[in-house]
Amino acid sequence: MRSAILSTLAIGALLGSGAVAAPAAAGTSSSCAGAPRTPVTSGAVFSEPVGGDPVAIVSRLCDLVRQTPAGAGIRIAHFVMSGTAGSEFAAELLKAHERGVRVQVVLDGDARGKAVAERLAAVLGTDTSAASFAHVCSGPMSGGTAACVGDKGQHNKFYLFSRTGGASDVVVQSSANLTNLNSTTYWNNAVVLAGNRRLHEAYASYFADLAAERKSLDYDRVVRTGAAGGSVRAHFFPSAEGDPIVEALDGVSCRDGAPIRVGMSEWDGYRVAIAERLAELAREGCTVQVVAGVLDAEVEAALRAEPRIELRTLSSGSALPGRIHSKYLLVDGWVYTGSHNYNQTSLRRNDDTLLRLNNKAIHAQFVANFDRMRAAAAS
């Protein structure tokens, strides 16, 4: 039955990631070929289309898969895999499966990733009780996407490794889809967190609920854990009420002119309260800088109405300097990132994740990435 569903449903391909000054054509981006072997430690990875590595995230993911030993497990919840980038990554997963790695994948029901989804299902099977499988969310379809828990899209982009490269309980939370545009002209980020068993188990529990399609528009699970370098909190969606970003900003003090940096792919009028709170904080003395992609008019108006907010845009899509596809907030030493856009669907309807951490080294990496995006963006 699931095979029949897979033949008619497929996976969606958003976009995201970067390319160097002269990116490869979107249809021919290579991502896994030549990926270097890198020690598995906690830190951030950025795909940057101007002056950076456009395939950094996909290369890192392929390396992690290659370093996963037989007997270990990989679990992936992903919105879309398509094109060269998605195909190369899928090939690495199938190689891992052949050498005895348990590979489990949950994908959105968007049709743009159909070829990769069916390729994975043909080898891994579709039985979610098995050691390996590929599961496409059955929906129902909504606007071309299909969620497993919510009622819109399975928008997650996370990867779990029981062991890889000598490290255990590795969680990778990314903003990037595995598509060619994600490997050419989109700005994206990923966070690798190694050795945190509680965090790995929290993500694994959410993954199990996705695979079992335990439907709920108020899933709203929050797990907090300590970690080397700082604490971590994972928030799994959809949620029926509240807004964790507004709540985070409500706790910010501007006594010392605290810097607030927002890099956001999509921001709609349903979440205008975030923009309004940023304007209040700017008036209170915080330094507020925003690099945005797709903004509703109501949100843009709220940001531009406060002259002390610096708003720049990266929304040129397939042309350099590219489009921001990252979704993050940097404030008070905290990093809020994940697959969670500032829109209604990510909050109320999507299967999505928001990760919060206060690791100083990772925060510094994000600040440097933000400064590079800001330099490339239009005011």
Q: What is the per-residue pLDDT across 58-108, written as a single tens digit (0 to 9) for each?
A: 999 999 999 999 999 999 999 999 999 999 999 999 999 999 999 999 999
Give yes or no: residues 275 and 338 share one domain: yes
In this structure, what CATH number is given to the domain that contains residue 49?
3.30.870.10
Residue-wise pLDDT for 323-342, tens only, equals 999 999 999 999 999 999 99
Residue-wise pLDDT for 128-146, tens only, equals 999 999 999 998 999 999 9
Higher confidence at residue 238 or residue 27?
238
**Measured distance CA(99)–CA(120) in Å, rounded:** 15
Residue 309 lies in a domain: yes
Give yes or no: residues 9 and 152 share one domain: yes
Question: Where among 211, 238, 260 does a domain terminate?
Answer: 211
Give yes or no: residues 245 and 122 share one domain: no
Question: Where among 211, 246, 262 does a domain terminate?
Answer: 211
Mapped to the 3 state alphabet, what secondary structure does 108-143 carry?
CCCHHHHHHHHHHHHHHCCCCCCCCEEEECCCCCEC
Question: Where among 211, 246, 281 does a domain terminate?
Answer: 211
Residue 6 lies in a domain: yes
Chain mean pLDDT for the chain:
91
Taking a C-beta distance cutoff of 8 angstroms, is the pair 48, 369 a contact? yes
Structural domain boundaries, residue 119: 2-211
> What is the structure's pLDDT at 20?
30
Give yes or no: residues 207 and 279 share one domain: no
Total number of domains constituting the chain: 2
Give yes or no: residues 192 and 250 share one domain: no
Residue 151: alpha-carbon gap to chain centroid:
19
Residue 216 lies in a domain: no
> What is the structure's pLDDT at 29?
59
Give yes or no: residues 206 and 231 share one domain: no
**Measured distance CA(240)–CA(217) in Å, rounded:** 6
Angle between helices 83-98 and 56-66 (to 10 degrees): 10
Taking a C-beta distance cutoff of 8 angstroms, is the pair 104, 132 a contact? yes
Q: What DSSP string describes 183-198?
A: GTTEEEEEEEE-S-HH
Q: Model pTM greater than 0.85?
A: yes
Give yes or no: residues 332 and 229 share one domain: yes
| Residue matched to tokens 């070929």 | 33
Residue 157 lies in a domain: yes
Give yes or no: residues 249 and 121 share one domain: no
